[in-house]
Amino acid sequence: MSHTPDPSHLPDHDSVYDGLLGGDDSQWAFGTDFEDPLAGVDTTVPDGVDTHELATYCLMLADDALVMSHRLSQWCSNAPDLEEDIALANIALDLLGQARLLLARAAAADPSVVPALPAGSPVPPEDALAFFRGDREFRNVRLVETDNGDFAVTIARLLLFSTWRLALLQRLAASRDHVLSAVAIKGVKEMTYHRDYAGRWFLTLARGTEESRRRLIAGLEATWPLRAELFTTHPVELAVAGSGVGVDPSTVADEVDVLLEQVFSMSGVDRPDIAPLAGVRGETGRDGLHTEAFSRLLAEMQVVARAHPMGSW
Amino acid sequence: MTLAPEADESELRAVFEATIERHDRIEPRDWMPEAYRKTVIRQVAQHAHSEIIGMQPEGNWITRAPSLRRKAILLAKVQDEAGHGLYLYSACETLGVSRLELTEMLINGKQKYSSIFNYPTLSYADVGTIGWLVDGAAICNQVPLCRTSYGPYGRSMIRICKEESFHQRQGYELLATMMRGTDEQREMVQESVNRFWWPALMMFGPPDDDSPNTAQSMAWGIKRNTNDDLRQRMVDMTVPQAKALGVTLPDPELRWNEERQSHDFGSPDWDEFKDVITGNGPCNTQRIAHRRRAHEDGAWVREAAMAFAARGAEA
């Protein structure tokens, strides 16, 4: 028999209703109005850095996170078990948080990147960037935008993405831009968990059943052609690396490769020998050239926001 | 507490009854009447299923949330619901039934979930209305359950109620923000409240004179208030909130009764309620099909995890 206190003496939780009508804003966990996510942070662009290049670079990193988050959030209520539903939502939330800060940084560095909205629109810059740009203005790599496929495809993609982004953010922590540096330091902790999660599931599926192994290898082969793009340096990335605020992705290729080799060897999976996906006239995701899946993704993501350019949410 | 094997059932029953009498908790290893066990399983499973099915109508809007802040709030909220389902299935497992069995009973229609989730979510305002009215009604139902007699259930409910009240405030705050927005947004909120008001009141279950399980559940301390009591409390609580928000509640009979110090209100459409609980609501088939698909599509992943764990145990 339990020895908990007589439950009739427990505090009366009916009181949760109290204060719903109070005029005191402190009751709201998120505040009642939009606040500048970079409030109180020094957003001065370091000397010698081109503001448009910095903003464009921030959009690249932001769009990778935003679009990957969108795909992961589609697992919500669809995952193989409740624990996975919760974990994938967590990862999606982390990336959404990174995207918001990076979009705000892009807007602060160069307001000209923010799409124009009707005069008096209350839509904040991060939302103007997320919901009012067209597909050609998004700078994310194509890896993050293709359909989720099954759980194996999702895990293979998450492994490729998180090993790469973790390596990038580890270096970005030393950025001369204080905002990017702070975002990277926070992101490193998050990406470490994402990589660990993806790595553990990669191993589990590879060594689980015949079916899971077959699906995992198919998932890896489906995502592999999109991997080369992650390490291809765009001129903007080269420029921001040169001015000490960004990272040239080609410089993390070896390190990421060693890590993947470890996962592959533990899993008994061969490194795929598949050619990279070509671009169009030399353009790929970083240039705003995307897959067919992407404009459909954006149409869904942007539909409500675009219907209410004067709306407050 | 351990009892000698020869302790006969009447002694065990006396101990059980005394525990209930003192408003103390029944714990998993305690003796309990079979009917009590079954009733608790039925109620906790139904609650767990409601959390899991409830992820769908709101999850429907995650990819279309109109601001990144709202997207983060909504995704975190739906994730909380998965967490609630997790605690509640665990509480149910202490009574000797597995999550897998419970899930199968859900998708085979042998156990129910809250009828409210058989209504569609048709605009982003529904995310706010569900938080305000549906989570509000759920809290009315659930707060008394923090003191329910079955220990693991009561303790889960304390945490769940805290999170639900947070969700309710987030929902209300979304609606309040939209009401300060454009005319179209205000219309969207009113239209949503019009659709959800009666279904929210139906969440308390049938009227007391048509609620066959209430008396026994109250005697056992599993349930602590009647359906009609809770419904009245919900109406009284909501009227001033609606006024502050600037929306009307779609009930021409709704008015303050000075004598009762309470609101009089109309009667929900109990025929529609019966339709919805017997499987003919707007989304019953869709919700179960979604859950079944996710469960079946995930089978190979769960099997892989089991096989991998078993191999690790051998090594």
Q: Which of A128, A183, A188, A133 is nearest to A163 (CA)?
A: A188
d(CA A172, CA A170): 6
CA distance A259 to chain B (A): 22
In chain A, the residue whose alpha carbon lies closest to the alpha carbon of B163 is A16
φ, ψ for residue B22, nearest 5 deg = -80, 0
Which of B59, B143, B302 has the CB atom closest to A13's CB atom?
Answer: B143
Cα–Cα distance between B279 and B112 in angstroms, integer?
Answer: 10
Nearest alpha-carbon partner for A264 in A210, A211, A197, A205: A205
Backbone angles phi, psi at B256, to 5 degrees: -75, 135
A90, B297: Cβ pair inside 8 Å?
no
The model carries a pTM of 0.92
Candidates 1.10.340.30, 3.40.50.2300, 1.20.1260.10, 3.40.50.150; CATH matching A44-307: 1.20.1260.10
Q: Are A245 and A176 in contact (CB under 8 A)?
A: yes
Neighbours of A260 (CB within 10 A): 19
Question: pLDDT tens string for chain B (315 positions)?
Answer: 555 555 688 999 999 999 999 989 999 999 999 999 999 999 999 999 999 999 999 999 999 999 999 999 999 999 999 999 999 999 999 999 999 999 999 999 999 999 999 999 999 999 999 999 999 999 888 888 888 899 999 999 988 988 888 899 999 999 999 999 999 999 999 999 999 999 999 999 889 887 777 777 777 777 768 889 999 999 999 999 999 999 999 999 999 999 999 999 999 999 999 999 888 999 999 999 999 999 999 999 999 999 999 988 766
Domain segments of chain A: what residues?
44-307
ipTM over cut 0.90: yes
Q: Which of A77, A122, A130 sits opposite B68 (nearest CB)?
A: A130
Residue range A117-131: average pLDDT?
A: 97
Per the CB < 8 A criterion, the answer to whether A102 and A88 are in contact is no
The structural domains of chain B, with segments of one domain joined by +, span 10-314
Q: Do B308 and A74 touch (CB under 8 A)?
A: no
Binary contact (B244, A8; C-beta < 8 A): no
d(CA B271, CA B198): 12
What SS3 class is residue B264? strand
Residue that is written with structure tokens 């809770």 in the block: B230
Query: Does the pLDDT value for residue A22 go beyond 80?
Result: no
What residues of chain A lie within 8 A of the CB of B150, using their CB?
Answer: none
d(CA A65, CA B68): 12
- What pLDDT shows up at residue B1? 52
pLDDT at B6: 56
Q: Which long-range contacts (CB under 8 A, 24 or more apart) does B159-163 make?
A: B159/B87, B160/B84, B160/B87, B160/B88, B161/A13, B161/A16, B162/A13, B162/A16, B163/B80, B163/B83, B163/B84
- Interface A:B, Cβ pairs < 8 A: 219
**Length reported for chain B:** 315
CB–CB contact B67 A124 (8 Å): yes
* Beta strands B262-264; B255-257: pairing state: antiparallel
Are A305 and B67 an interchain contact pair (Cβ–Cβ within 8 Å)? yes
> For residue A43, what pLDDT is reported?
86
Separation between Cα atoms, residue A278 and residue A284, nearest integer Å: 8
B289 vs A contacts (CB less than 8 Å): none
Nearest CA in chain B to A80: B298
Superfamily grouping for domain B10-314: Ferritin, core subunit, four-helix bundle (1.20.1260.10)
CB contact under 8 A, A29 and B86: no
CB within 8 Å: A211 and B63 = no
Q: Which residue of B158, B185, B305 is in closest CB contact with A311? A: B185
Amino acid identity of residue A54, one-letter, is: L
CB B76 within 8 A of CB B42: no
| DSSP conformation letters of B97-160 | --HHHHHHHHHTTSS---GGGGSPP-STHHHHHIIIIIHHHHHHHHGGGGG-SBHHHHHHHHHH
Residue A170 pLDDT grade (very low, low, confident, very high; cuts 50, 70, 90): very high
Min Cα distance B207 → chain A (Å) is 22
Nearest-neighbour CA in chain B from A29: distance (Å): 8
Sequential DSSP letters for A197-245:
HHHHHHHHHHTS-HHHHHHHHHHHHHHGGGTGGGGSPPHHHHHHHHTTS
Give phi and psi for A88, each to the nearest 5: -65, -35
CA B307 → CA A64, B204, B302, B315, distances in Å? 34, 44, 9, 12
